[in-house]
Structure 1
Amino acid sequence: MNAIDEYAAELAAELRGPARVKARMVQEIRDGLTDTVAARTDAGSPPEQAVQDAVREFGTPAEVAPSCQRELTVAQTRHTAFALLVTVPVLLGGWRLAATIGRDQSAPTSETAQLLAAVAGTAAIVGCAALLITRRLAVPGRLPLVLGWTGTAASIAMPLASIGLATTLPPAENWPLLLLLAAVTVAAHFALAYSAKVCRECAAQAE
Protein backbone atom coordinates (compact mmCIF):
# COMPACT_ATOMS: atom_id res chain seq x y z
CA MET A 1 0.00 0.00 0.00
CA ASN A 2 1.49 3.36 -1.03
CA ALA A 3 1.28 6.59 0.94
CA ILE A 4 -1.83 7.82 -0.87
CA ASP A 5 -3.66 4.55 -0.27
CA GLU A 6 -2.70 4.74 3.40
CA TYR A 7 -4.02 8.30 3.55
CA ALA A 8 -7.33 7.26 1.99
CA ALA A 9 -7.65 4.24 4.29
CA GLU A 10 -6.93 6.34 7.38
CA LEU A 11 -9.47 8.95 6.31
CA ALA A 12 -12.11 6.30 5.62
CA ALA A 13 -11.55 4.82 9.08
CA GLU A 14 -12.26 8.22 10.64
CA LEU A 15 -15.63 8.67 8.93
CA ARG A 16 -19.14 7.35 9.54
CA GLY A 17 -22.05 7.69 7.17
CA PRO A 18 -23.77 6.24 4.08
CA ALA A 19 -21.35 3.81 2.45
CA ARG A 20 -21.71 5.10 -1.12
CA VAL A 21 -21.45 8.77 -0.15
CA LYS A 22 -18.44 8.02 2.04
CA ALA A 23 -16.72 5.97 -0.66
CA ARG A 24 -17.29 8.70 -3.25
CA MET A 25 -15.99 11.38 -0.91
CA VAL A 26 -12.84 9.45 -0.03
CA GLN A 27 -12.24 8.61 -3.70
CA GLU A 28 -12.53 12.27 -4.70
CA ILE A 29 -9.98 13.27 -2.07
CA ARG A 30 -7.73 10.39 -3.08
CA ASP A 31 -7.91 11.43 -6.74
CA GLY A 32 -7.15 15.04 -5.86
CA LEU A 33 -4.19 13.99 -3.77
CA THR A 34 -2.93 11.73 -6.56
CA ASP A 35 -3.18 14.53 -9.12
CA THR A 36 -1.35 16.94 -6.82
CA VAL A 37 1.45 14.45 -6.18
CA ALA A 38 1.74 13.75 -9.91
CA ALA A 39 1.94 17.47 -10.71
CA ARG A 40 4.66 18.03 -8.12
CA THR A 41 6.58 14.97 -9.31
CA ASP A 42 6.40 16.20 -12.91
CA ALA A 43 7.74 19.54 -11.69
CA GLY A 44 10.82 17.79 -10.37
CA SER A 45 10.01 17.03 -6.73
CA PRO A 46 11.11 13.63 -5.39
CA PRO A 47 8.10 11.31 -4.89
CA GLU A 48 8.32 11.26 -1.10
CA GLN A 49 8.64 15.04 -0.94
CA ALA A 50 5.75 15.42 -3.38
CA VAL A 51 3.52 13.30 -1.13
CA GLN A 52 4.51 15.25 1.97
CA ASP A 53 3.84 18.57 0.25
CA ALA A 54 0.48 17.35 -1.09
CA VAL A 55 -0.61 16.14 2.36
CA ARG A 56 0.46 19.45 3.84
CA GLU A 57 -1.67 21.22 1.23
CA PHE A 58 -4.71 18.98 1.69
CA GLY A 59 -4.38 18.46 5.43
CA THR A 60 -3.89 15.24 7.35
CA PRO A 61 -6.76 12.74 7.58
CA ALA A 62 -7.46 13.97 11.10
CA GLU A 63 -7.65 17.55 9.84
CA VAL A 64 -9.81 16.74 6.81
CA ALA A 65 -12.18 14.35 8.60
CA PRO A 66 -14.33 16.91 10.52
CA SER A 67 -15.51 18.76 7.41
CA CYS A 68 -16.16 15.46 5.63
CA GLN A 69 -18.01 14.12 8.65
CA ARG A 70 -20.36 17.10 8.75
CA GLU A 71 -21.39 16.40 5.16
CA LEU A 72 -21.75 12.69 5.85
CA THR A 73 -23.83 13.39 8.95
CA VAL A 74 -26.30 15.41 6.89
CA ALA A 75 -26.45 12.60 4.31
CA GLN A 76 -27.00 9.95 6.99
CA THR A 77 -29.67 12.05 8.69
CA ARG A 78 -31.55 12.26 5.39
CA HIS A 79 -31.00 8.53 4.79
CA THR A 80 -32.51 7.61 8.17
CA ALA A 81 -35.37 10.07 7.74
CA PHE A 82 -36.16 8.59 4.33
CA ALA A 83 -36.03 5.06 5.79
CA LEU A 84 -38.56 6.10 8.44
CA LEU A 85 -40.79 7.75 5.89
CA VAL A 86 -40.82 4.67 3.66
CA THR A 87 -40.90 1.71 6.04
CA VAL A 88 -43.34 2.89 8.72
CA PRO A 89 -46.31 3.91 6.51
CA VAL A 90 -45.90 0.84 4.30
CA LEU A 91 -45.90 -1.53 7.26
CA LEU A 92 -48.72 0.19 9.10
CA GLY A 93 -50.76 0.25 5.91
CA GLY A 94 -50.07 -3.41 5.25
CA TRP A 95 -51.08 -4.51 8.73
CA ARG A 96 -54.15 -2.27 8.57
CA LEU A 97 -55.13 -4.00 5.33
CA ALA A 98 -54.58 -7.41 6.90
CA ALA A 99 -56.72 -6.42 9.88
CA THR A 100 -59.48 -5.14 7.61
CA ILE A 101 -59.76 -8.29 5.51
CA GLY A 102 -58.88 -10.89 8.08
CA ARG A 103 -60.31 -9.92 11.46
CA ASP A 104 -63.73 -9.62 12.95
CA GLN A 105 -64.18 -5.85 13.02
CA SER A 106 -66.09 -6.07 16.28
CA ALA A 107 -63.01 -7.55 17.99
CA PRO A 108 -60.89 -4.84 19.62
CA THR A 109 -57.27 -4.35 18.58
CA SER A 110 -54.70 -4.70 21.32
CA GLU A 111 -54.16 -1.37 23.08
CA THR A 112 -50.45 -2.15 23.27
CA ALA A 113 -50.33 -2.72 19.52
CA GLN A 114 -52.15 0.56 18.95
CA LEU A 115 -49.70 2.40 21.20
CA LEU A 116 -46.68 0.89 19.45
CA ALA A 117 -48.17 1.72 16.07
CA ALA A 118 -48.67 5.31 17.25
CA VAL A 119 -45.01 5.46 18.31
CA ALA A 120 -43.93 4.26 14.87
CA GLY A 121 -46.31 6.69 13.17
CA THR A 122 -44.96 9.59 15.21
CA ALA A 123 -41.43 8.57 14.23
CA ALA A 124 -42.43 8.74 10.56
CA ILE A 125 -43.70 12.29 11.09
CA VAL A 126 -40.37 13.21 12.69
CA GLY A 127 -38.61 11.68 9.69
CA CYS A 128 -40.68 13.78 7.30
CA ALA A 129 -39.86 16.93 9.25
CA ALA A 130 -36.16 16.03 9.24
CA LEU A 131 -36.17 15.65 5.46
CA LEU A 132 -37.67 19.09 5.06
CA ILE A 133 -35.27 20.65 7.55
CA THR A 134 -32.13 19.14 5.99
CA ARG A 135 -33.26 20.22 2.54
CA ARG A 136 -33.82 23.90 3.32
CA LEU A 137 -31.88 24.74 6.46
CA ALA A 138 -28.58 24.08 8.15
CA VAL A 139 -28.84 20.88 10.17
CA PRO A 140 -29.41 21.63 13.88
CA GLY A 141 -26.67 20.13 16.03
CA ARG A 142 -28.95 17.71 17.89
CA LEU A 143 -31.10 16.64 14.94
CA PRO A 144 -28.95 13.65 13.85
CA LEU A 145 -28.91 12.27 17.39
CA VAL A 146 -32.64 12.84 17.87
CA LEU A 147 -33.39 11.18 14.55
CA GLY A 148 -31.05 8.29 15.35
CA TRP A 149 -32.89 7.50 18.56
CA THR A 150 -36.25 8.09 16.87
CA GLY A 151 -35.34 5.55 14.20
CA THR A 152 -34.21 3.09 16.85
CA ALA A 153 -37.51 3.47 18.73
CA ALA A 154 -39.46 2.94 15.52
CA SER A 155 -37.39 -0.11 14.57
CA ILE A 156 -38.34 -1.68 17.91
CA ALA A 157 -41.97 -0.54 17.92
CA MET A 158 -42.77 -1.78 14.40
CA PRO A 159 -42.13 -5.50 14.92
CA LEU A 160 -43.72 -5.45 18.38
CA ALA A 161 -46.80 -3.71 16.98
CA SER A 162 -46.85 -6.21 14.13
CA ILE A 163 -46.81 -9.12 16.58
CA GLY A 164 -49.63 -7.51 18.57
CA LEU A 165 -51.72 -7.01 15.45
CA ALA A 166 -50.95 -10.47 14.08
CA THR A 167 -52.24 -12.14 17.25
CA THR A 168 -55.70 -10.69 16.55
CA LEU A 169 -55.85 -12.10 13.01
CA PRO A 170 -57.01 -15.57 11.94
CA PRO A 171 -53.87 -16.94 10.21
CA ALA A 172 -55.76 -19.72 8.43
CA GLU A 173 -57.72 -17.20 6.36
CA ASN A 174 -54.92 -14.97 5.07
CA TRP A 175 -51.63 -16.67 5.91
CA PRO A 176 -49.89 -15.67 2.62
CA LEU A 177 -50.44 -11.99 3.43
CA LEU A 178 -49.30 -12.51 7.02
CA LEU A 179 -46.11 -14.24 5.88
CA LEU A 180 -45.38 -11.45 3.41
CA LEU A 181 -45.96 -8.78 6.03
CA ALA A 182 -43.81 -10.65 8.54
CA ALA A 183 -40.94 -10.85 6.04
CA VAL A 184 -41.25 -7.17 5.17
CA THR A 185 -41.40 -6.27 8.86
CA VAL A 186 -38.18 -8.17 9.61
CA ALA A 187 -36.38 -6.59 6.64
CA ALA A 188 -37.60 -3.11 7.57
CA HIS A 189 -36.56 -3.61 11.19
CA PHE A 190 -32.97 -4.47 10.35
CA ALA A 191 -32.64 -1.77 7.67
CA LEU A 192 -34.04 0.95 9.90
CA ALA A 193 -32.18 -0.20 13.02
CA TYR A 194 -28.86 -0.16 11.15
CA SER A 195 -29.51 3.24 9.59
CA ALA A 196 -30.47 4.69 12.98
CA LYS A 197 -27.34 3.21 14.58
CA VAL A 198 -25.11 4.80 11.95
CA CYS A 199 -26.98 8.09 12.41
CA ARG A 200 -26.16 8.04 16.13
CA GLU A 201 -22.52 7.25 15.32
CA CYS A 202 -22.43 10.18 12.89
CA ALA A 203 -23.84 12.47 15.55
CA ALA A 204 -21.14 11.33 17.97
CA GLN A 205 -18.40 11.81 15.37
CA ALA A 206 -19.62 15.27 14.42
CA GLU A 207 -19.54 16.57 18.00
Structure 2
Amino acid sequence: MSADPIEDYAAELTTALHGPARAKSRLVGEIRDGLVDAVAAQTAEGLPYRQAVEQAVREFGTPSELAPSCQQELTIAQTRHTARALIVTVGFLIVCWYAIWTASHIQGWQLPHAVQLLTAVAAAAGVLAAATLAATGPLTRWLPVPDRLPLLVGWAGTTASVAMPFAGIALAIALPLATAWPLILLAGGFTVASHAVLATSARVCRECARLPIC
Protein backbone atom coordinates (compact mmCIF):
# COMPACT_ATOMS: atom_id res chain seq x y z
CA MET A 1 0.00 0.00 0.00
CA SER A 2 1.23 3.50 -0.85
CA ALA A 3 0.90 6.63 1.26
CA ASP A 4 -1.69 8.03 -1.17
CA PRO A 5 -5.15 6.38 -1.03
CA ILE A 6 -5.88 7.49 -4.59
CA GLU A 7 -2.84 5.58 -5.85
CA ASP A 8 -3.98 2.57 -3.81
CA TYR A 9 -7.41 2.88 -5.43
CA ALA A 10 -5.90 3.01 -8.91
CA ALA A 11 -3.63 0.04 -8.18
CA GLU A 12 -6.54 -2.06 -6.88
CA LEU A 13 -8.63 -1.25 -9.96
CA THR A 14 -5.71 -2.04 -12.26
CA THR A 15 -5.29 -5.45 -10.64
CA ALA A 16 -8.99 -6.24 -11.00
CA LEU A 17 -9.13 -5.48 -14.73
CA HIS A 18 -7.92 -7.52 -17.71
CA GLY A 19 -7.45 -6.42 -21.29
CA PRO A 20 -5.11 -4.49 -23.60
CA ALA A 21 -2.47 -2.73 -21.51
CA ARG A 22 -2.85 0.63 -23.25
CA ALA A 23 -6.65 0.66 -23.00
CA LYS A 24 -6.54 -0.41 -19.36
CA SER A 25 -3.96 2.24 -18.50
CA ARG A 26 -6.05 4.92 -20.21
CA LEU A 27 -9.25 3.83 -18.47
CA VAL A 28 -7.71 3.65 -14.99
CA GLY A 29 -5.94 6.96 -15.62
CA GLU A 30 -9.23 8.69 -16.48
CA ILE A 31 -10.86 7.39 -13.29
CA ARG A 32 -7.84 8.35 -11.22
CA ASP A 33 -7.84 11.87 -12.68
CA GLY A 34 -11.53 12.18 -11.92
CA LEU A 35 -10.87 11.21 -8.32
CA VAL A 36 -8.03 13.71 -8.07
CA ASP A 37 -10.28 16.50 -9.38
CA ALA A 38 -13.09 15.56 -7.01
CA VAL A 39 -10.74 15.44 -4.02
CA ALA A 40 -9.17 18.77 -5.00
CA ALA A 41 -12.61 20.39 -5.07
CA GLN A 42 -13.42 19.02 -1.63
CA THR A 43 -10.12 20.02 -0.04
CA ALA A 44 -10.49 23.52 -1.51
CA GLU A 45 -13.62 23.82 0.63
CA GLY A 46 -11.65 22.88 3.74
CA LEU A 47 -12.32 19.14 3.98
CA PRO A 48 -9.31 17.10 5.17
CA TYR A 49 -7.60 15.14 2.38
CA ARG A 50 -8.47 11.61 3.51
CA GLN A 51 -12.06 12.52 4.23
CA ALA A 52 -12.24 14.10 0.78
CA VAL A 53 -10.93 10.85 -0.74
CA GLU A 54 -13.51 8.80 1.15
CA GLN A 55 -16.30 11.04 -0.07
CA ALA A 56 -15.03 10.92 -3.66
CA VAL A 57 -14.87 7.11 -3.53
CA ARG A 58 -18.46 6.98 -2.28
CA GLU A 59 -19.48 9.08 -5.27
CA PHE A 60 -17.38 7.19 -7.83
CA GLY A 61 -17.77 3.71 -6.37
CA THR A 62 -15.17 1.32 -5.01
CA PRO A 63 -12.84 -0.56 -7.37
CA SER A 64 -14.94 -3.72 -6.97
CA GLU A 65 -18.07 -1.76 -7.84
CA LEU A 66 -16.52 -0.13 -10.91
CA ALA A 67 -14.70 -3.23 -12.18
CA PRO A 68 -17.64 -4.91 -14.01
CA SER A 69 -18.51 -1.84 -16.11
CA CYS A 70 -14.84 -1.10 -16.78
CA GLN A 71 -14.23 -4.74 -17.70
CA GLN A 72 -17.02 -4.62 -20.26
CA GLU A 73 -15.21 -1.83 -22.10
CA LEU A 74 -11.87 -3.65 -21.88
CA THR A 75 -13.39 -6.94 -23.06
CA ILE A 76 -14.64 -5.22 -26.21
CA ALA A 77 -11.21 -3.60 -26.67
CA GLN A 78 -9.50 -6.99 -26.32
CA THR A 79 -11.96 -8.57 -28.75
CA ARG A 80 -11.16 -5.92 -31.34
CA HIS A 81 -7.43 -6.33 -30.68
CA THR A 82 -7.70 -10.08 -31.30
CA ALA A 83 -9.85 -9.54 -34.41
CA ARG A 84 -7.29 -7.15 -35.90
CA ALA A 85 -4.47 -9.62 -35.16
CA LEU A 86 -6.49 -12.34 -36.89
CA ILE A 87 -7.07 -10.29 -40.03
CA VAL A 88 -3.43 -9.20 -40.34
CA THR A 89 -1.84 -12.58 -39.70
CA VAL A 90 -4.29 -14.68 -41.69
CA GLY A 91 -4.27 -12.28 -44.63
CA PHE A 92 -0.48 -12.01 -44.78
CA LEU A 93 0.09 -15.74 -44.45
CA ILE A 94 -2.46 -16.65 -47.11
CA VAL A 95 -0.70 -14.22 -49.48
CA CYS A 96 2.66 -15.82 -48.60
CA TRP A 97 1.33 -19.32 -49.17
CA TYR A 98 -0.18 -18.32 -52.50
CA ALA A 99 3.12 -16.74 -53.54
CA ILE A 100 4.97 -19.93 -52.58
CA TRP A 101 2.52 -22.02 -54.54
CA THR A 102 2.79 -19.89 -57.71
CA ALA A 103 6.57 -19.62 -57.37
CA SER A 104 7.02 -23.39 -57.43
CA HIS A 105 6.21 -23.52 -61.20
CA ILE A 106 5.04 -27.11 -61.07
CA GLN A 107 2.69 -28.00 -63.93
CA GLY A 108 -0.66 -29.21 -62.62
CA TRP A 109 0.46 -29.13 -58.98
CA GLN A 110 -2.38 -28.70 -56.49
CA LEU A 111 -2.37 -27.62 -52.87
CA PRO A 112 -2.45 -30.62 -50.54
CA HIS A 113 -5.89 -31.27 -49.05
CA ALA A 114 -4.56 -30.68 -45.54
CA VAL A 115 -3.29 -27.24 -46.54
CA GLN A 116 -6.60 -26.40 -48.22
CA LEU A 117 -8.56 -27.43 -45.14
CA LEU A 118 -6.34 -25.59 -42.66
CA THR A 119 -6.26 -22.50 -44.87
CA ALA A 120 -10.06 -22.56 -45.06
CA VAL A 121 -10.22 -22.71 -41.25
CA ALA A 122 -7.88 -19.73 -40.93
CA ALA A 123 -9.77 -17.82 -43.64
CA ALA A 124 -13.11 -18.45 -41.88
CA ALA A 125 -11.61 -17.08 -38.67
CA GLY A 126 -10.47 -14.03 -40.62
CA VAL A 127 -13.99 -13.44 -41.96
CA LEU A 128 -15.35 -13.69 -38.41
CA ALA A 129 -12.73 -11.17 -37.30
CA ALA A 130 -13.80 -8.70 -39.99
CA ALA A 131 -17.44 -9.08 -38.94
CA THR A 132 -16.40 -8.57 -35.31
CA LEU A 133 -14.70 -5.26 -36.07
CA ALA A 134 -17.93 -4.09 -37.70
CA ALA A 135 -20.10 -5.37 -34.85
CA THR A 136 -17.97 -3.72 -32.16
CA GLY A 137 -17.43 -0.49 -34.07
CA PRO A 138 -19.98 1.91 -35.63
CA LEU A 139 -22.78 -0.70 -35.46
CA THR A 140 -22.84 -0.44 -31.65
CA ARG A 141 -24.76 2.83 -32.12
CA TRP A 142 -27.74 0.74 -33.20
CA LEU A 143 -27.07 -2.85 -32.14
CA PRO A 144 -25.71 -4.29 -28.88
CA VAL A 145 -22.56 -6.41 -29.01
CA PRO A 146 -23.53 -10.11 -28.79
CA ASP A 147 -22.68 -11.49 -25.35
CA ARG A 148 -20.85 -14.54 -26.69
CA LEU A 149 -18.89 -12.70 -29.38
CA PRO A 150 -15.68 -12.12 -27.32
CA LEU A 151 -15.51 -15.81 -26.41
CA LEU A 152 -16.19 -16.82 -30.02
CA VAL A 153 -13.43 -14.53 -31.30
CA GLY A 154 -11.07 -15.85 -28.63
CA TRP A 155 -11.60 -19.45 -29.72
CA ALA A 156 -11.43 -18.49 -33.40
CA GLY A 157 -8.07 -16.84 -32.77
CA THR A 158 -6.82 -19.91 -30.92
CA THR A 159 -8.01 -22.21 -33.72
CA ALA A 160 -6.37 -20.07 -36.39
CA SER A 161 -3.12 -19.81 -34.42
CA VAL A 162 -2.98 -23.62 -34.38
CA ALA A 163 -4.11 -24.16 -37.97
CA MET A 164 -1.68 -21.73 -39.61
CA PRO A 165 1.59 -23.34 -38.43
CA PHE A 166 0.37 -26.80 -39.47
CA ALA A 167 -0.70 -25.47 -42.86
CA GLY A 168 2.70 -23.84 -43.31
CA ILE A 169 4.53 -27.04 -42.41
CA ALA A 170 2.36 -29.12 -44.73
CA LEU A 171 2.93 -26.70 -47.58
CA ALA A 172 6.69 -26.56 -47.01
CA ILE A 173 6.90 -30.36 -47.03
CA ALA A 174 4.79 -30.68 -50.18
CA LEU A 175 6.82 -28.19 -52.21
CA PRO A 176 10.32 -28.77 -53.62
CA LEU A 177 12.60 -26.74 -51.33
CA ALA A 178 14.90 -25.54 -54.11
CA THR A 179 12.16 -23.70 -56.00
CA ALA A 180 10.65 -21.62 -53.21
CA TRP A 181 12.92 -21.73 -50.18
CA PRO A 182 13.21 -17.91 -49.66
CA LEU A 183 9.43 -17.56 -49.49
CA ILE A 184 9.12 -20.69 -47.35
CA LEU A 185 11.67 -19.24 -44.94
CA LEU A 186 9.85 -15.88 -44.83
CA ALA A 187 6.44 -17.46 -44.30
CA GLY A 188 7.84 -19.84 -41.69
CA GLY A 189 9.38 -17.05 -39.66
CA PHE A 190 6.24 -14.94 -39.81
CA THR A 191 4.10 -17.96 -38.91
CA VAL A 192 6.11 -18.58 -35.74
CA ALA A 193 5.95 -14.91 -34.73
CA SER A 194 2.27 -14.51 -35.55
CA HIS A 195 1.39 -17.72 -33.73
CA ALA A 196 2.87 -16.35 -30.50
CA VAL A 197 1.12 -12.97 -30.85
CA LEU A 198 -2.24 -14.34 -31.96
CA ALA A 199 -2.31 -17.21 -29.45
CA THR A 200 -1.58 -14.81 -26.57
CA SER A 201 -4.19 -12.29 -27.69
CA ALA A 202 -6.78 -15.04 -28.15
CA ARG A 203 -6.09 -16.48 -24.69
CA VAL A 204 -6.52 -13.07 -23.05
CA CYS A 205 -9.71 -12.57 -25.06
CA ARG A 206 -11.15 -15.84 -23.71
CA GLU A 207 -10.16 -14.86 -20.19
CA CYS A 208 -11.83 -11.46 -20.53
CA ALA A 209 -14.99 -13.07 -21.91
CA ARG A 210 -15.37 -15.13 -18.74
CA LEU A 211 -15.11 -12.17 -16.36
CA PRO A 212 -18.27 -10.57 -14.90
CA ILE A 213 -19.44 -7.45 -16.70
CA CYS A 214 -22.47 -5.21 -16.55
Whether these two folds match at TM > 0.5 is yes
1:41 equivalent in structure 2:
43
1:27 aligns with 2:19: no
Give RMSD over aligned pairs: 1.3
Which of 162, 165, 172 pairs up with 1:159? 165
Matched-pair contact (CA < 8 Å) for 1:103–1:170:
no
* 2:85 partner amino acid: A
Matched-pair contact (CA < 8 Å) for 1:15–1:68:
yes
Q: What residue ranges of structure 1 are gaps of 5+ in the alignment?
A: none
Q: Which moved more, 1:51-60 or 1:197-206?
A: 197-206
> Which digits, 9 at most, give the CA deviation of each residue in 1:141-168, with x for residues without a partner?
0010011101100010011111111111
2:94 equivalent in structure 1:
92
Matched-pair contact (CA < 8 Å) for 2:99–2:183:
no
* 1:194 partner amino acid: T
Matched-pair contact (CA < 8 Å) for 1:33–1:54:
yes
2:145 equivalent in structure 1:
139
> Which digits, 9 at most, give the CA deviation of each residue in 1:29-67, with x for residues without a partner?
111111111221121111111111111111000001111
Question: Equivalents in 2 of 1:103, 1:27: separation in Å?
Answer: 56
* 1:154 partner amino acid: A
* 2:188 partner amino acid: A
1:191 aligns with 2:197: yes
2:68 equivalent in structure 1:
66
TM-score when normalising by structure 2:
0.92
* 1:202 partner amino acid: C
* 1:37 partner amino acid: V
> Which digits, 9 at most, give the CA deviation of each residue in 1:129-185, with x for residues without a partner?
111111203211001001110110001001111111111122223322221111111
Matched-pair contact (CA < 8 Å) for 2:103–2:179:
no
- Identity over aligned residues, as a percent? 56
Matched-pair contact (CA < 8 Å) for 1:109–1:165:
yes
TM-score when normalising by structure 1:
0.95
Question: Equivalents in 1 of 2:107, 2:86: separation in Å?
Answer: 29
SS of the aligned residue for 2:164 comes to helix
Cα distance, 1:103 vs structure 2: 5.2
1:82 aligns with 2:84: yes
Question: Equivalents in 1 of 2:107, 2:199: separation in Å?
Answer: 33
